[in-house]
Amino acid sequence: MHVNNAHAEVNTHAVAVLAGGSSSRMGFDKAQARFGSQTLLDRTIGTAAATNPAVIYVCGGSVHATTGLEVEHLIDAAPNEGPLVGLLAAIDAAPGERLVCIAVDLPLLSAATILEVLSVLDTAEVAVPVTAGRRQWHLSGWRVDRCRERLWSAFEAGARSFQQATEDLEVGEMVPNSPVELVDVDTPGMLREAGGRPPLRRGLS
């Protein structure tokens, strides 16, 4: 399903929101956590949609988006094998040359930073932000045709992390203008510090 915006040019990139995983440190499904009036899943989809992608995929998870924006849900073929499985599903489905992969637990992420990552793909096969000297793989960009075969080969050889899977790929790094945007919320305490809260209980609003 494609994202339509009559008032803006539609880009040729796709976006994959990684919403799978056990959320064991959080104690509940992170995608359902609240940030303002939205779930983290809806907030991430909205941020991704602001970049005017050709399509948005939600990879894994069981929570449905309620933003009103059209998204396509991709089922993890191996749900307990890490985020690389979701990336591979999106790379196989992506209609264009570029894909941005976003973890669902980045509530402060902006569309501008996503576009910064995309721009790195002009000269690299993979793009990743770096903060405090560390690659932040919960936001990344991928040249689909150049990466697909080698990512699958790495996965079949046992790689499960993005770091392991990109050893034979040309990775371009960028330093975001606002590093706080890449702070992921893995625990209830981190969620509260970022301004979020647990999911609403049934019967409450």
Token digits of residue 11: 């880009």
Q: What is the pLDDT of residue 197?
A: 61
What confidence tier does 96 reach under pLDDT thresholds 50, 70, 90? very high
| DSSP H or E stretch at residue 74 | strand 72-74
How many other CB atoms are there within 10 angstroms of residue 46's CB atom? 16
Share in percent of the chain as helix, strand, coil (round to 5): 30, 20, 50
Q: What is the pLDDT of residue 56?
A: 96
Q: What is the pLDDT of residue 183?
A: 87
What confidence tier does 123 reach under pLDDT thresholds 50, 70, 90? very high
- The arithmetic mean of pLDDT across residues 169-192, rounded, is 85
Token digits of residue 166: 């990109």
Q: Which domains does the chain have, with CATH numbers?
A: 14-197 (3.90.550.10)
Number of helices (H), then strands (E), in the chain = 6, 11
Q: Could you give phi then psi for residue 30, rounded to 5 degrees? A: -60, -35
* Residue that is written with structure tokens 């609403």 in the block: 200
- The arithmetic mean of pLDDT across residues 142-163, rounded, is 96
Token digits of residue 186: 């893995």
Q: Could you give phi then psi for residue 61, rounded to 5 degrees? A: 80, 170
51-83: pLDDT as tens digits? 999 999 999 877 666 667 889 999 877 777 888
